[in-house]
A and B are shown apart, each in its own frame.
Chain A
Amino acid sequence: QSALTQPASVSGSPGQSITISCTGTSSDVGNYNLVSWYQQYPGKAPELVIYEVNKRPSGISNRFSGSKSGNTASLTISGLQGEDEADYYCCSFAGGGISWVFGGGTKLTVL
């Protein structure tokens, strides 16, 4: 399985909205509504922020939202805050029994 494709970096000013794309194939993102997104601060473990394309775990701000169209999933963060500056990874179930594929990660900078 090849990694999902994410932009290496995105940036935005406080209060703005940004969107991170995640492009896969018809074997993963396009075939399952099982895309998840993770936020990771330097030196820390990742944290789940979106699952099943657009669901938020308990405790995650409603500023985080997810969507999918065809083979591309997206994470949108609205009302950017300084604390949102982190790395973000998408992940998709990839079938073949049980397997997952991650994106390469996107570094979000809040200007």
Chain B
Amino acid sequence: EVQLVESGGGLVQPGGSLRLSCSMTGLSLRGCHMNWVRQAPGRGLEWVSYIGSGGNIYYADSVNGRFTISRDNDKNSLYLQMNTLRADDTAVYYCVRDQDYAFQSWGQGTLVAVSS
């Protein structure tokens, strides 16, 4: 069974930075397409970023230029470096494996709160 565990969330001031990590077990990350999806408190889901098994990368317009997705296949881990954080980045961030153009496996999420 695939398990995804996020870490690295917390409280950060506006303009600050945070790095999220996601550890995968039960499957090799090497062949997986991975994403970050977020959910603001009481709100809906928002796709944030994608990194393919071949390394191609895409971002939502709302985070492009501020967030950087990366992966370490040897460590079976996915990362999201978040810079210049804003209040509207406050959300639970989910690490998600996609297959067949659908989000098949989700982590439990890690909360990022941006506030002074």
Which A residues form the contact surface with B (CB < 8 A)? Answer: 1, 3, 32, 34, 36, 38, 45-48, 51-52, 55, 57, 89, 91, 93, 96-105
Q: Which residues of B contact A (CB under 8 A)?
A: 35, 44-47, 50, 52, 56, 58, 60-61, 94, 100-104, 106-109
Looking at the assembled complex, report how far the CB atom of A56 sits from the nearest CB atom of chain B, in whole angstroms: 11
Contact B60 A45 (CB under 8 A): no
Q: A36-B102, A48-B102 are in contact. List 19 more A-B contacts (CB 8 A).
A: A3-B44, A32-B101, A34-B101, A38-B45, A38-B103, A45-B94, A45-B107, A46-B94, A46-B103, A51-B101, A55-B100, A89-B44, A89-B45, A91-B45, A98-B52, A102-B45, A102-B46, A103-B44, A105-B45
**Contacts of A51 on B, CB cut-off 8 Å?**
100-102, 104
In the complex, A91 Cα to B44 Cα: how many Å?
Answer: 11
